Chain A
Amino acid sequence: MRIRSSYPALVAAVLVVASCSSSSSTPTTAAGASATSASAGGYTIGIVEQQLSNPFFANLEAAAKAEAQAHGLTVITAESKVAGDAATQVTAIQDMINRGVKGISLDPGNATAVVPAVQQATAAGILVVAVNTETSPSTAVAATYETDNLAGGKLMGQYAKAKIGSTTPVVALLDYDLTDKTSKARHDGFLAGFGITDSSPEIAAEIATQANADSGQTAMENMLSAHPDINVVYTINEPMAVGAAAAIKAANLSHPVIVVSIDGSCSGVQAVKNGQISATVMQFPSKMGKDAVDAIINYVSTGQKPSGIIDTGTTLITDQAITGVQSQDTTWGLQNCWGATS
Chain B
Amino acid sequence: MTAESPKPGSVHATPALPAGEPVWRALLGSTVAGPLVALLLACLVFSLGTRTFLRAENISLIFQQSVVVGTLALGQTLIILTAGIDLANGSIAVLGMVVMAKYVVEGGDPIVALLLGFVVCMVMAAISGTIVSRFNLPPFIVTLGMLTAIAASTRLYSSSASYTVPPSLLTWLGNSIKVGGATVPYSIFVWLALFAVAHYALTQTAAGRHLFAVGDNIEAARLAGINVRRTLLSVYVVAGAIYAIGAWEALGRIPVADPNGYSTANLDSITAVVIGGTSLFGGRGGVFGTLIGTLIVAVLANGLTQANIDSLYQQVAIGILVIVAVAVDQLVRRRRAS
Query: Which chain B residue shows the least CB distance to A245?
Result: B254
Knowing A19-B267, A340-B159, A341-B161, the reply to whether A222 touches B254 (Cβ < 8 A) is no
Which residues of chain A come closer than 8 Å to B162, judged between CB atoms?
Answer: 213, 239, 267, 342
Distance in Å: Cβ of A321 to nearest Cβ of chain B: 25
- A218 to B312 CA separation, bound complex (whole angstroms): 15
Which residues of chain B come closer than 8 Å to A55, judged between CB atoms?
Answer: 160-161
Which residues of chain A come closer than 8 Å to B57, judged between CB atoms?
Answer: 225
- A270 to B164 CA separation, bound complex (whole angstroms): 10
Instruction: State whether A22 touches B302 (Cβ < 8 A).
Output: no
- A3 to B302 CA separation, bound complex (whole angstroms): 38
Knowing A10-B140, A14-B87, A19-B267, the reply to whether A217 touches B305 (Cβ < 8 A) is no
The CB with the most chain A CB atoms within 10 A, among B55, B87, B164, B259, is that of: B164
- A24 to B282 CA separation, bound complex (whole angstroms): 29
Interface contact tally, CB-CB below 8 A: 125
Instruction: State whether A217 touches B254 (Cβ < 8 A).
Output: yes
B85 at the interface (CB under 8 A from A): yes
Instruction: State whether B61 touches A342 (Cβ < 8 A).
Output: no
- A58 to B161 CA separation, bound complex (whole angstroms): 11
B58 at the interface (CB under 8 A from A): yes
Knowing A10-B140, A205-B308, A225-B55, the reply to whether A342 touches B161 (Cβ < 8 A) is yes
Instruction: State whether B83 touches A4 (Cβ < 8 A).
Output: yes
B325 at the interface (CB under 8 A from A): no
B211 at the interface (CB under 8 A from A): no
Knowing A8-B280, A11-B85, A239-B258, the reply to whether A210 touches B263 (Cβ < 8 A) is yes
B250 at the interface (CB under 8 A from A): yes
Query: Which chain B residue shows the least CB distance to A224?
Result: B61
Instruction: State whether B267 touches A214 (Cβ < 8 A).
Output: no
Distance in Å: Cβ of B211 to nearest Cβ of chain A: 17
Q: How many chain A residues touch B (Cβ–Cβ < 8 Å)? A: 46
Instruction: State whether B253 touches A214 (Cβ < 8 A).
Output: yes
Which listed residue (A19, A217, A222) contacts B306, Cβ 8 A? A222
Instruction: State whether B267 touches A7 (Cβ < 8 A).
Output: no
Q: How many chain B residues touch A (Cβ–Cβ < 8 Å)? A: 52
B50 at the interface (CB under 8 A from A): yes
Which listed residue (B164, B250, B267) contacts A15, Cβ 8 A? B267
- A222 to B307 CA separation, bound complex (whole angstroms): 10
- A15 to B315 CA separation, bound complex (whole angstroms): 13
B144 at the interface (CB under 8 A from A): yes
Knowing A7-B140, A19-B267, the reply to whether A214 touches B306 (Cβ < 8 A) is no
B186 at the interface (CB under 8 A from A): no
B138 at the interface (CB under 8 A from A): yes
B236 at the interface (CB under 8 A from A): no
A67 at the interface (CB under 8 A from B): no
- A24 to B87 CA separation, bound complex (whole angstroms): 13
B227 at the interface (CB under 8 A from A): no
Instruction: State whether B83 touches A8 (Cβ < 8 A).
Output: no
B contact residues vs A (CB 8 Å cutoff): 50, 52, 55, 57-58, 61, 64-65, 68, 83, 85, 87, 138, 140, 144, 147-148, 151-152, 155, 159-164, 183, 250, 253-254, 256, 258-264, 267, 270, 280-282, 301-302, 305-306, 308, 310-312, 326
The 4 closest A-B pairs by CB, nearest first: A340-B161, A222-B305, A226-B306, A342-B162
20 A-B pairs with CB atoms under 8 Å apart are A7-B281, A14-B140, A19-B264, A19-B267, A23-B263, A58-B160, A205-B308, A209-B311, A210-B263, A212-B258, A212-B260, A213-B256, A213-B261, A217-B253, A217-B254, A222-B61, A222-B65, A225-B55, A239-B261, A339-B161
